[in-house]
Structure 1
Amino acid sequence: MTPDSTRSSRRRVLKGAAGSASLLTLAGCVEDGGGNGGGNGNGGGNGNGGGNGNGGGNGNGGGNGNGGGSAELEFTIGGVMSPPGSGWEGAQPSGHWEFERRVEEQSDGRIQVENVAEGQICGELDCPESVRNQTVEIGSASIGNSSASFPMNDIWMIPYTFPSEISLAHTLTQAETYEQFWVPFAQEYGVIPLWYHAPALRAIHIGVDRADSTDFTHQVPGDVEGMDCRRTASQVSGIALNELGMNPVSLSWADALQGLRSGTVDGAEAAASPICAYGGNNAEALASSIINKWTIHNDTKWANVEWLKSLSDENLSLLADVSKSVYEDLVQMNMEEIHQQRLGMYTDDPPESSCTIEHDLEYNYLNEDQMQQWEDAIGYQDNLDLYSDIIDSAGQIGVDGEAFHEYLVDTAREDSVPSSHSDFTVDAWWDEYLSEM
């Protein structure tokens, strides 16, 4: 790897090349984007580029305009995220621009971060490989979509492994999780999660045409049989939708949106946060969402291990501290702020500004019996054989897949899982294990 002091020339090349791509992929879904993400910066080379770091699109959407070449360390974050939807105040805050703001502020401009948004340098399906081959230092892709490059990551997606959003955040940040999975993963691929989005669980979303052509509320597995459902790249998605009697359809998100309106596609599986994050275009194509919490939605910021190891101790420590603080803040505001206030979920009185009110989206919450029908149909307890190939794929990194999945299930249900998101703190973080990777 190049030393800290010689990154600027490659960064300028990356920035110049970033405008050539137009195909974008949504977190968990292939799509062609939204938001304004271009950012105007100030181009004056004055350190922080004039953005206020809140991801709201006011000067930090896709480059901080720092002029290049004057910093000790410069690096690039690639992905499809763009403000305002994925800004710090958005429906799906990615932490990209908040990470940039905190790093540049705490380093007094010694470190400069270039956020290349809207899939201009890499998207959900190719960011992991771009990080692996050092085209970009940090790239964003959901754990499910990363399975296109790293098939064993689908073990995290096995339905109903995680009973709640907070149980996912808790499990991701345990020492045993790093020791059992991420260390051998990084040894094999040279890539490690730097931080994650606020944890979310996926739903089945019903298109406007499908809802208009049926006379019942979609709630249980029998209600979705025969539906053409837009799927994500995860193998688990295809397996589960097939098992539910649906027809999994692989489409770009733009085509899926049109199909949801016209009836050529009946539904889509995704979390509510990305559905609401991109200018409302996604939510407006939907009539309702079955909140069956069937698997995780967990966009991840992947970083190149060799690059991290090449950094000075001071710079490495700063990146570790900032990424950790960003993730803790995202989790702590996840329920009351993100889910209840911004998405309008899990509350009897959603704000007028929330996604569900603004876009007239109905969340269908399930009673215990209805939820059990989904778990019986696709959950790990009665259907682990459906996911045997995925579990076995962990052997590619020397991990006993069956034992590790049991660990995930047990850890997600242990007494130490916080009862409230606001009580969450990170127990273990990647920098503690970097020397082993």
Structure 2
Amino acid sequence: MTTITSFPTTPRPSRARSRLTTLVMATVLGLTSLSATAATEMPPFPEVTGDVVEGDGNDYSLKFNIGLTQSSAQYRGLEYFKKIVEQRSDGHIQVQAFHSAQLGDDLQSVSALQAGTLEMTAPSTSPMVSMFPQFAVFDLPFLFPTPEIADKVLDGDIGQQMLKDASTKGLVAIGWAENGYRQLTNSKQAVTSPSDLDGLKVRTMQNPIHLDIWRTLGANPTPMSFAELFTALEQGVVDGQENPWITIESSKFNEVQQYATETNHVYTPFITLVSERFWNRLPESYQQLLREAAKQMGDYERQVSRTLNDQIKQELKDQGMQITELTPEQIATFQEDLAPVYDDWRDKIGGDLIDRIRAESKTQ
């Protein structure tokens, strides 16, 4: 027997009311469209070039996990990598893209590569210093005065040798991309010189060089989980923090931080890694395809990163954040005060590596 449930009927709205509802909805949709248009825009994907690469007749699937969100330049680069690899392998390599540390954070992902349970990841170099001490060079302050110098170092002999050195311990390093420059924000005052940092409580990563940097400048560095940072800033547990512009905006730090200084004090790259176990299963032609795709991904991701950087910096200004841009003379003062950091870390990182990077800066 079928039971029919009776529901109370709702009076139908009048035509005038329906037209009003339609008008309101159209207005809302129009405002939404304008908002979307005004939002930060990603540069379009470059056209995929190159012939289809012949493999060994087998199909392969790789999982590529990153820590940043779907709205990041890094994920946009990963989408381009997927497009290149799948198109040029004629679908014989399928790339599954994961964002927001869905399969683990940077160190967990690297461990998964070593175990062979994950095929690719692209961590920041900072958490990998314990595995590769030379990566600490990227934590030194003001080592890369411009993005172009960073590109020159990473794409040249120095960066390529570092990729070879990192192709050990179950990993194959095949390319570089950009995490970017870190900037200082705080809730107390505009910062134009080291003296403005005296006693300022600045949240940092649990990284010995970063702690050394802020301590040397007279601040009070306070290591803290990133997840706790917004609340700590809001409650005044710490006065300031340092991160790239895109992180500052996406985390809404400008809501609790009135002042920012474009210090560009540390430049950090991403390194593209493949599981050695997976790599050794691939025919040489597909290995070369992944190398080429990683290089193209890195070049495009840098473009996206720098485009977003400029857009977001302007958006933060428009939202009322007071942003100080340091003059070359002011930057030189910070560099002079931080000379002891280089003295402390020279032997631990490798003086020859530091000198070679500095030499590249002078020839730019």
TM (norm. structure 2) is 0.76
Tell me the equivalent position of 1:26: none
Aligned to 2:357: 408
In the TM superposition, residue 105 of structure 1 has moved relative to its aligned partner by 2.7
Counterpart of 1:299 in structure 2 is 270
Change in CA separation of 1:176 and 1:242 when aligned onto 2, cut-off 3 Å: closer
Q: Does structure 1 residue 185 correspond to structure 2 residue 153?
A: no
Q: How does 1:19-418 map to 2 (within 5 A)?
A: 72-84=59-71, 86=72, 95-179=77-161, 181-187=162-168, 189-198=169-178, 200-206=180-186, 210-211=187-188, 216-276=189-249, 278=250, 280-332=251-303, 334-335=305-306, 337-340=307-310, 342-344=311-313, 350=314, 354-357=315-318, 359-379=319-339, 383-388=341-346, 390-391=348-349, 401-415=350-364
- Max radius of gyration: which structure? 2
Greater Cα offset, 259-268 or 283-292: 283-292
Q: 1:77 to 1:334 in 2, by over 3 A?
A: closer
Judge which range, 162-171 or 308-317, deviates more: 308-317
Change (3 A) 1:306 1:105: same
SS in 2 for 1:196: strand
Q: Is 1:193–1:300's contact at 8 Å kept on the other side of the alignment?
A: yes
Cα 1:361/1:308, change in 2 over 3 Å? farther
Residue by residue over 1:348-396, the C-alpha shift from the partner in whole angstroms, topping out at 9 and shown as x without a partner, is xx4xxx3443x433321112332122101114xx5422214532xxxxx
Task: Point out where structure 2 has 5 or more consecutive residues left out of the alignment.
Answer: 1-41, 45-57
Instruction: Please give the root-mean-square deviation of Cα atoms over the aligned residues, in Å.
Output: 2.7
Structure 1: stretches of 5+ with no match in the other structure: 1-53, 57-70, 345-349, 392-400, 416-437
Determine helix, strand or coil for the equivalent of 1:159.
coil
- Cα drift, residue 159 of structure 1: 1.4
Alignment CA distance shift 1:376-1:176 (3 Å):
closer
Q: Distance in 2 between matches of 1:55 and 1:138?
A: 24
Q: Output the amino acid matched with 1:75.
A: L
Inter-CA distance 373–385: structure 2 relative to 1 (3 Å threshold): same
1:33 counterpart residue number: none
Distance 1:287 1:390 in 2: 37
Q: Give the letter aligned to residue 237 of structure 1.
A: H
User: Shift of the alpha carbon at 1:148?
Assistant: 4.1
* Cα 1:281–1:334 shift into 2, 3 Å: closer
User: Which amino acid letter does the alignment assign opposite residue 78 of structure 1?
Assistant: N
> Which structure shows the bigger proportion of residues in helix conformation?
2
Judge conservation of contact 1:81–1:117 (CA < 8 Å) in 2.
Answer: yes
Greater relative contact order (CA < 8 Å, ≥ 6 in sequence):
2
CA deviations on 1:234-274 (whole Å, 9 max, x unpaired) are 32111111212222222221211111122111111222233
TM-score of the superposed pair, with normalisation by structure 1 = 0.64
Do 2:183 and 2:244's aligned partners in 1 also have CA atoms closer than 8 Å?
yes
User: By how many angstroms is 1:306 displaced?
Assistant: 4.4
